[in-house]
């Protein structure tokens, strides 16, 4: 039985009488300790699926099951200890007025866990940040450093599943490389399950075992990494996406 | 001095205290570069200084009358701002009156913005019917012109300083609620709120620890800009005889009493008027300067 | 024939904690060719582009030994001289059309604004030129786009409108600051082709600022690589794979590739001497 099961998921937003069907009837499964990628352009609904898993987007059809059990509404503390998310924009995902120490101690405080001093120091070391950064504010950190803090925050509760919403698209190329390396290492060390969203096929190829290509809220094609690497796509959109990214690859 | 400087500007603070103080110091450095803001700060500090040391600075008692000396013009030896119609030194009365002004301002600041902040953040965070109910209550208070409502309250409660402060506070909180709610609506959709909610945080923790700190700058700026209005409202109430009662040297009351002599002995009303003007201007400039420093949009540039 | 010549450009910001140097001695020459300036955030590439147009306000300071455009000294030019240059002879296209187009004016009005005010064209002439400009960027129904507001256009369409707007006065030099970074991957290629076409047919000089080294190499004739305010390498685009500077090599190698290995990506050594 897969760890995460998304079955015929539909998400429709209704604002002022207009309906926006962000996700239409999407299904996929993620096995434990697998890394699953969702790739598509803007408006494809990939980020909306992550938000639906977290309870931040309304599910208007279908079901999401984790470990065979449907998700409770509201998600609750048990869910928080199992699933966490890393957001796209490192400048928006940390509270501007909270120090790194506060950011990392908060999940522990919410769940009534002690030993925060040691855990915070260890968390910083785990993501490759010097413990001396502990009392810095976000604006004293670079984009890459902030994203590391965000990753550390997501891991404070020792979750099983990590949802990653374009974790490196706001970062410079060299910083992206370091961040992706960090994520791969953490995943290997802790046996995490990733669901990663990106618009960059190369990043998805590097990080994920299976990929779902999405367009306009619908699932277009699901590929294994081998199929992606050998350009064995069957749908024209997936091929177009590949061509637009592979272009860059040709030069290098 | 350099070790203190190094401690303040340390890029790797060792404690939360050092971190906070360091950031405050940087904000102060930024504030210092604005000459108008420094003038505003200077005036505000002067007001506080005057009110604390009034007994030492004032050459005469503000309440004791001295009829032979009534209506002396400014620059008379011993009375550089002149005397009023009871022979009391205007300068001394201004100094003691600054205490009353400051008292009123402080009381209002400690009540109205706090109430407004709480109501605004709760309304903005929860939305839906909570928002609707709270905002309609706010609208009711906003619908009345401030002075009229204050007058009505004082008429009901009776004249006096405390009642005047209460009336002003009750009429001042709605704009803070509005401002707090507007900030909350923006902040509510941020990733950091989503991240903390995802950790299982309660609404109380989110509002108190995450939303309110983001609303504080707008509210603080609004407070400094409103202080001028508070002083003027208190002066207005005093002018109408409904606030502070004679013989207390409240500035508005002094203007009212001096109305009778405006053309012949202009200084009786004009001196307190100038005091109100300068203090209001000072708070306004301070508020403007604070906005440049506290606005989170300009932080981190 | 050199169009733009920059010698020892320095941009400094006077912050409350001391001066911060964004650009530290950049020199280059540009003729009617396509020059790419590549760097990560903090490299000073955007500031260099803005310095050419003297668009940096206090507390920023621009200093240079020499900066000339077509024989005219940019450092000594007055604000009036610069206003005559900006838009008319040197144009700038920026990253996100959402932020660079006026959201409360219709597209047509914005396109015609410059023509009517700067060139004193009549309404009919201006409209004609605007429509021609939209057609030049391959917008199929220019009439509809003229009547639309910027938020009603897609990202790629908005950027094309921006390019059209900048090219109406037929400038000699175009500075494009990350013009395709906010666009989807499939749209990027389209917009770049349009830009490429226009630059070639009009014989303009182009400064293309980007963080994407491969994109710039594909699109430009020469590339300048910047790091922390300095130029670390200058080379022809076709020689990119033979780059000698460790930073350039690092940038080339650190990107993941489809079908590449799953080993950790090579990261930059930020402690090396050249990084100071």
DSSP B190: -
Tokens of A138: 């976000």
CA distance B184 to chain C (A): 24
Task: Indicate if the pLDDT at residue A227 is higher than 70.
Answer: yes
Question: pLDDT at position B298, please?
Answer: 46
Is residue A93 less than 8 Å (CB to CB) from chain B? yes
Is residue C269 less than 8 Å (CB to CB) from chain A? no
The answer to whether B12 contacts A95, with C-beta atoms less than 8 Å apart, is no
Task: Indicate if the pLDDT at residue B248 is higher than 80.
Answer: yes
Of the candidates C27, C21, C92, the residue with the CA atom closest to the CA atom of residue C54 = C92
- Kindly indicate the confidence band of residue A235, based on its pLDDT and cuts at 50, 70 and 90: very high
A106/B78: higher pLDDT: A106
Residue of B nearest to C20 (CA): B301
Burial class (CB in 10 A: 0-12, 13-18, 19+), B290: buried
Of the candidates A144, A138, A126, the residue with the CA atom closest to the CA atom of residue A192 = A126
The answer to whether A174 contacts C251, with C-beta atoms less than 8 Å apart, is yes
Question: pLDDT at position C273, please?
Answer: 67
In angstroms, the CA B101 to CA B104 distance is: 5
CA distance C22 to chain B (A): 13
Torsion angles phi and psi, residue A24, rounded to 5? -125, 105
- pTM exceeds 0.90: no
- Kindly indicate the confidence band of residue B142, based on its pLDDT and cuts at 50, 70 and 90: confident
CA distance C215 to chain A (A): 7
The CA distances from residue C19 to B3, B28, C15, C60, in Å, are: 21, 18, 6, 9
Q: Which of C185, C223, C228, C248 to mutate to test the interface with A (most CBs of A within 10 A)?
A: C185
In angstroms, the CA C52 to CA C7 distance is: 11
Question: pLDDT at position B125, please?
Answer: 95
The answer to whether C16 contacts B33, with C-beta atoms less than 8 Å apart, is yes
In angstroms, the CA A141 to CA A91 distance is: 10
* Average of per-residue pLDDT values in chain A: 90
The CA distances from residue B32 to A97, A120, B40, B290, in Å, are: 22, 36, 11, 10
In angstroms, the CA C10 to CA A77 distance is: 54
What strands lie across the sheet with A61-66, from one edge to the other?
A18-30, A4-15, A61-66, A69-70
The answer to whether A93 contacts B192, with C-beta atoms less than 8 Å apart, is yes
The answer to whether A92 contacts B199, with C-beta atoms less than 8 Å apart, is no
Question: pLDDT at position B264, please?
Answer: 87
The answer to whether C218 contacts A247, with C-beta atoms less than 8 Å apart, is yes
Burial class (CB in 10 A: 0-12, 13-18, 19+), B204: exposed
C264 neighbourhood in chain A, CB within 8 Å: 181, 184-185
Torsion angles phi and psi, residue A209, rounded to 5? -90, -35
Mind spelling out the 3-state secondary structure of chain C? CCCEEEEEEEEEEEECCEEEEEEEEEEEEECCCEEEEECCCCCCHHHHHHHHCCCCCCCEEEECCEEEECCEECCCCCHHHHHHHECCCEEEECCCHHHHCCCCCCHHHHHHHHHHHHCCCCHHHHHHHHHHHHHHCCCCCHHHHHCCCHHHCCHHHHHHHHHHHHHCCCCCEEEEECCCCCCCHHHHHHHHHHHHHHHHHHCCEEEEEECCHHHHHHHCCEEEEEECCEEEEEEEHHHHHHCCCHHHHHHHHCCCCCCCCCCCCCCCCCCCHHHC
For C24-76, how does the pLDDT look when each residue is reduced to its tens digit (9 = 90+)? 999 999 988 899 999 988 888 999 999 998 888 888 889 999 899 988 888 88
Is residue A209 less than 8 Å (CB to CB) from chain B? no
The CA distances from residue B96 to A98, B47, B54, B101, B250, in Å, are: 42, 11, 6, 9, 8
A110 neighbourhood in chain B, CB within 8 Å: 199-201, 205
CA distance A76 to chain C (A): 36
Beta-carbon count within 10 A of A248 CB? 21
A246 neighbourhood in chain C, CB within 8 Å: 258
Average pLDDT over residues B187-213: 93
CA distance A189 to chain C (A): 14
In angstroms, the CA B213 to CA A96 distance is: 9
Task: Give the CA angle between residues B45, B29, B282 to the nearest 5°.
Answer: 30
A96-A100-A103-A109 Cα dihedral, nearest 10 degrees: -140
The answer to whether C17 contacts B9, with C-beta atoms less than 8 Å apart, is yes
Q: Which of C17, C255, C263 to mutate to test the interface with A (most CBs of A within 10 A)?
A: C255
Low-confidence ranges of chain C (pLDDT < 50): none
- The beta-carbon neighbor of A172 closest among C41, C218, C256 is C41
For A132-178, how does the pLDDT look when each residue is reduced to its tens digit (9 = 90+)? 999 999 988 988 999 999 999 999 999 999 999 999 988 888 889 99
C251 neighbourhood in chain A, CB within 8 Å: 173-174
Residue of A nearest to B297 (CA): A96
Tokens of B213: 């700190």
B38 neighbourhood in chain C, CB within 8 Å: none
- The beta-carbon neighbor of A99 closest among B16, B194, B196 is B16
Q: B touches which chains (3+ CB pairs under 8 A)?
A: A, C
Task: Indicate if the pLDDT at residue B285 is higher than 50.
Answer: yes
Question: pLDDT at position A252, please?
Answer: 43
The answer to whether A94 contacts B210, with C-beta atoms less than 8 Å apart, is no
CA distance A76 to chain B (A): 6
**Whole-complex ipTM:** 0.89
Tokens of B211: 């939303």
B30 neighbourhood in chain C, CB within 8 Å: 16
DSSP B261: G
- The beta-carbon neighbor of B213 closest among A89, A97, A153 is A97
A172 neighbourhood in chain C, CB within 8 Å: 40-41, 211
- The beta-carbon neighbor of C214 closest among A184, A207, A248 is A248
Lowest mean pLDDT among B200-214, B283-297, C44-58: B283-297
Spell out the residues 6+ positions from residue C272 whose beta carbon is closer than 8 angstroms to its own: C246
A41 neighbourhood in chain C, CB within 8 Å: 184-186
Task: Indicate if the pLDDT at residue B301 is higher than 50.
Answer: no
For A180-203, how does the pLDDT look when each residue is reduced to its tens digit (9 = 90+)? 999 999 999 999 999 999 988 889
Question: pLDDT at position B156, please?
Answer: 86
The answer to whether C185 contacts A244, with C-beta atoms less than 8 Å apart, is yes
Of the candidates A252, A176, A198, the residue with the CA atom closest to the CA atom of residue C216 = A252
The answer to whether C17 contacts B33, with C-beta atoms less than 8 Å apart, is no
Question: pLDDT at position C111, please?
Answer: 87
C56 neighbourhood in chain B, CB within 8 Å: none
Task: Indicate if the pLDDT at residue B115 is higher than 90.
Answer: yes
Q: C touches which chains (3+ CB pairs under 8 A)?
A: A, B
Torsion angles phi and psi, residue A38, rounded to 5? -115, 120
In angstroms, the CA C233 to CA C230 distance is: 9
B201 neighbourhood in chain A, CB within 8 Å: 106, 110
């Amino acid at each position: 039985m897969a760890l995460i099961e998304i079955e015929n998921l539909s998400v429709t937003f209704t604002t002022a009488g207009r309906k926006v069907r962000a996700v239409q009837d999407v299904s996929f499964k993620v096995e434990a300790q697998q890394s699953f990628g969702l790739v598509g352009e803007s408006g494809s609904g990939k980020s909306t699926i992550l938000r639906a898993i977290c309870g931040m987007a309304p599910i208007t059809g279908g079901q999401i099951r984790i470990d065979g059990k449907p998700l409770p509404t509201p998600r609750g503390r048990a869910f928080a200890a199992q699933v966490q998310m890393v957001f796209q924009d490192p400048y928006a995902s940390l509270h501007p007025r909270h120090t790194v120490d506060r950011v990392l101690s908060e999940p522990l405080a919410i769940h009534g866990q002690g030993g925060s001093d040691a855990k915070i120091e260890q968390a910083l070391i785990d993501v490759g940040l010097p413990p001396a950064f502990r009392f810095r504010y976000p604006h004293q950190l670079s984009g890459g450093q902030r994203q590391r803090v965000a990753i550390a925050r997501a891991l404070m509760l020792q979750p099983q599943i990590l949802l990653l919403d374009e974790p490196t698209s706001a970062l410079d190329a060299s910083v992206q490389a370091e961040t992706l390396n960090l994520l791969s290492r953490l995943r290997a060390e802790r046996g995490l399950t990733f669901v990663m969203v990106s618009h960059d096929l190369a990043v998805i190829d590097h990080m994920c075992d299976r990929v779902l290509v999405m367009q306009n809220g619908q699932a277009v094609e699901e590929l294994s990494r081998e199929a992606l690497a050998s350009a064995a796509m069957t749908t024209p959109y997936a091929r177009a996406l590949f061509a637009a990214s592979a272009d860059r690859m040709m030069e290098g | 001095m350099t070790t203190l400087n190094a401690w303040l500007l340390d890029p790797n603070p060792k404690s939360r205290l050092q971190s906070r103080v360091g950031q405050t110091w940087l904000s102060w450095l930024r504030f210092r570069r604005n000459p108008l803001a420094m003038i505003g700060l200077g005036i505000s500090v002067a007001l506080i200084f005057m009110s604390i040391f009034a007994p030492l600075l004032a050459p005469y008692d503000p309440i004791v009358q001295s009829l032979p000396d009534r209506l002396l013009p400014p620059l008379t030896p011993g009375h550089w701002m002149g005397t009023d119609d009871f022979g009391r030194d205007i300068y001394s009365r201004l100094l003691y009156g600054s205490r009353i002004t400051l008292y009123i301002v402080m009381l209002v600041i400690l009540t109205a913005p706090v109430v407004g902040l709480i109501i605004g953040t709760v309304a903005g965070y929860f939305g839906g019917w909570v928002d609707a109910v709270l905002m309609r209550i706010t609208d009711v208070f906003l619908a009345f012109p401030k002075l009229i409502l204050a007058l009505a309250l004082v008429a009901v409660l009776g004249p006096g300083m405390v009642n005047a402060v209460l009336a002003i506070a009750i009429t001042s909180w709605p704009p803070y609620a509005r401002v707090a709610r507007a900030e909350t609506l923006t902040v509510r959709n941020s990733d950091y709120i989503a991240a903390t909610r995802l950790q299982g945080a309660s609404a109380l923790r989110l509002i108190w620890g995450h939303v309110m700190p983001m609303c504080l700058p707008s509210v603080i700026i609004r407070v400094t800009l409103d202080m001028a209005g508070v002083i003027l409202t208190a002066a207005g109430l005093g002018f109408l005889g409904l606030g502070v009662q004679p013989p207390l040297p409240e500035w508005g009351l002094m203007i009212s009493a001096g109305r009778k002599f405006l053309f012949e002995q202009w200084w009786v009303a004009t001196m307190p008027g100038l005091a109100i003007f300068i203090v209001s201007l000072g708070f306004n400039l301070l508020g403007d300067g604070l906005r440049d420093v506290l606005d989170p949009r300009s932080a981190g540039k | 024939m050199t169009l733009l010549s920059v010698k020892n450009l320095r941009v400094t910001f006077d912050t409350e904690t001391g001066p911060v140097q964004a650009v530290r001695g950049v020199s280059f020459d540009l003729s009617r060719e396509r020059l790419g300036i590549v760097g990560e955030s903090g490299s000073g590439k955007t500031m260099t582009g803005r310095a050419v147009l003297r668009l940096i306000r206090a507390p920023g300071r621009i200093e240079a030994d020499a900066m000339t455009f077509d024989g005219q000294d940019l450092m000594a030019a007055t604000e009036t001289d610069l206003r005559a240059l900006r838009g008319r002879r040197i144009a700038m296209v920026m990253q996100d059309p959402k932020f660079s187009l006026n959201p409360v004016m219709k597209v047509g009005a914005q396109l015609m604004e410059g023509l009517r005010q700067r060139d004193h064209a009549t309404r009919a002439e201006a409209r004609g030129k605007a429509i021609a400009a939209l057609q030049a960027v391959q917008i199929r129904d220019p009439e509809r786009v003229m009547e639309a507001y910027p938020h009603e256009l897609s990202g790629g369409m908005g950027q094309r409108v921006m390019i059209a707007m900048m090219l109406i006065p037929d400038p000699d030099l175009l500075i494009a600051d990350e013009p395709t970074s906010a666009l989807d991957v499939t749209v990027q290629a389209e917009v770049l082709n349009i830009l490429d076409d226009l630059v070639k047919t009009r014989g303009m000089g182009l400064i293309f600022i980007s963080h994407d080294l491969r994109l710039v190499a594909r699109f430009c004739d020469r590339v300048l690589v910047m790091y922390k305010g300095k130029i670390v390498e200058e080379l022809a685009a076709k020689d990119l794979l033979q780059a000698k500077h460790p930073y350039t090599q690092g940038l080339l190698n650190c990107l993941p590739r489809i079908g590449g290995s799953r080993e950790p990506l090579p990261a930059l050594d930020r402690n090396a001497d050249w990084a100071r």
